Amino acid sequence: MIDYNSFTLNNGLQVIVHEDDSSPMAVVNVLYNVGAKDEQEDHTGFAHLFEHLMFGGSVNIPDFDEPLQMAGGENNAYTTNDLTNYYESVPTQNLETALWLESDRMLSLAFDKKSLEVQRKVVCEEFKENYINKPYGDVWKLIREQAYKVHPYKWMTIGKELKHIEDATLQEVKDFFHKYYIPSNAYLVVAGNVKTEEVKVLVEKWFGEIPGRSLPERNIPQEPAQTEARRLTVERNVPANAFFKSWHMGGRLDPQFYTIDLITDILGGGPSSRLYQTLVKEKELFSQISCFHTGSVDAGLVTVEGRLAEGISFEEAEKAVQEQMDIFCKNGIDPNELTKVINKTESMMAFEDLSLMSRASNLAYYALLGDTDLINKEFGMYQQVTADAIQAISNQLFQESNSNTIWYCATKN
């Protein structure tokens, strides 16, 4: 059981406090409910650009890192299609330094052309390095564009086109900040050797005077059900042929989520999984293979990803994958296999909860989902999954008409 207290400031900022006197450190986690899906299709990459700009100095603090390092702290951030998360850890006695820093950049960034140009170059280089020039770097661009025709999950967090960031103006950046990076669109978690009443005083001191603003209504189009299989073959300069097949699933709060999470683990969650044992170890058709889901807030994807062994054709590889999926859908799993995967999930969740940083991050995420107490209820939901549910949902999920297949061919020299 992870205990926490929560309260909301007058400006709408939701605050969660997790007391843990076993830690000498305190964690401050600020999650903004804005990600790549909130961007316009002709102005993508802004949420990720902000992940960088938020370290470029705020209205009263020109350098974010220096005072944090002087306080013995460290920090980082990440952006997804759903959210943006900033976090830092400091010795407990320096908690106020972290709150001061986070409150100032929530108040306003130090918008100037120099900072924008510096971070624009950093983001553009990241785009080129990881998504244009890196082998297999465009895979998720292809998968998203193939699977999503309406929902903004059809572009990557880094952006749809490099040009969108290259052409971003200072005014557009300011408008994006003032639209989304506001108290009522954020969740602040303070965790560690802290007391709730003391945190209340400090949070009110540093965040209480930040003006509250209304969040514009979100109107994100939801992806309609796919009714026909989609296929794509591309050729790239990569070391080996690769196979990708994705199926649409529900969102993070869909009742089927926990069952599908176990399904992906059974099929492709590591070397003991079914696909790996059969297609890599036994038949040697793939050099590696995995099955996972995107876990996105809105409707996501289940994906099988594999690198073909040398000399194996796409036809042969895909047929073998399909045979294993058919066997799984037809025969389901026995109680022992279900118990094993639930125990494995419990172990992973318990291990993750050992980290104070993870607990803070999870509390913020569950608050965003609308139920902070999911952090204590989720394992019970995994325990309720049955073998019959796994078989029924697998048959529903792995329909060919719901599938998106990519043959990613290595260029022949």
Helices (H), 269-373: 274-275, 314-331, 335-353, 356-369
Q: In whole angstroms, what is the distance from residue 275 CA to residue 273 CA?
A: 6
Q: What is the pLDDT of residues 221-241, one digit of tens each?
A: 999 999 999 999 999 999 999
Burial class (CB in 10 A: 0-12, 13-18, 19+), 242: buried
What is the CATH code for 5-208? 3.30.830.10
Is it true that 5-208 and 230-410 share their CATH fold? Answer: yes
Residue 246: helix, strand or coil by DSSP?
strand
- How confident is the model over 128-148, as a mean pLDDT? 96
Q: How confident is the model at residue 413 (pLDDT cuts 50, 70, 90)?
A: low
Strands (E), 14-117: 14-19, 25-32, 74-79, 84-91
pLDDT digits (tens, 9 = 90+) for 60-85: 998 889 999 999 999 999 999 999 99
Query: What six digits make up the tokens of 161?
Result: 């086109």
Residue 58 · residue 65 · CB < 8 Å: no
Collect all residues with Cβ–Cβ distance below 8 Å to 130 and sequence separation of at least 6: 137, 158
Rounded Cα–Cα distance for residues 86 and 155 (Å): 22
- Among 130-134, 203-207, 287-291, 303-307, name the one with the lowest average pLDDT: 130-134
Averaged pLDDT for residues 11-15: 97
Average pLDDT of the chain, as a whole number: 95
DSSP assignment letter at 40:
B
Angle between helices 356-369 and 374-383 (to 10 degrees): 80
What is the distance between the alpha carbons of residues 206 and 157, in angstroms, rounded to a whole number? Answer: 31
Which pLDDT belongs to residue 16? 98
CATH code reported for the domain at 230-410: 3.30.830.10
pLDDT digits (tens, 9 = 90+) for 142-178: 999 999 999 999 999 999 999 999 999 999 988 999 9
Given a contact cutoff of 8 angstroms between Cβ atoms, the answer to whether 135 and 83 are in contact is: no
Write down the pLDDT at residue 307: 98
The pLDDT tens digits of the residues spanning 250-259 come to: 999 999 999 9
Domain boundaries, the chain: 5-208, 230-410
pTM: 0.95
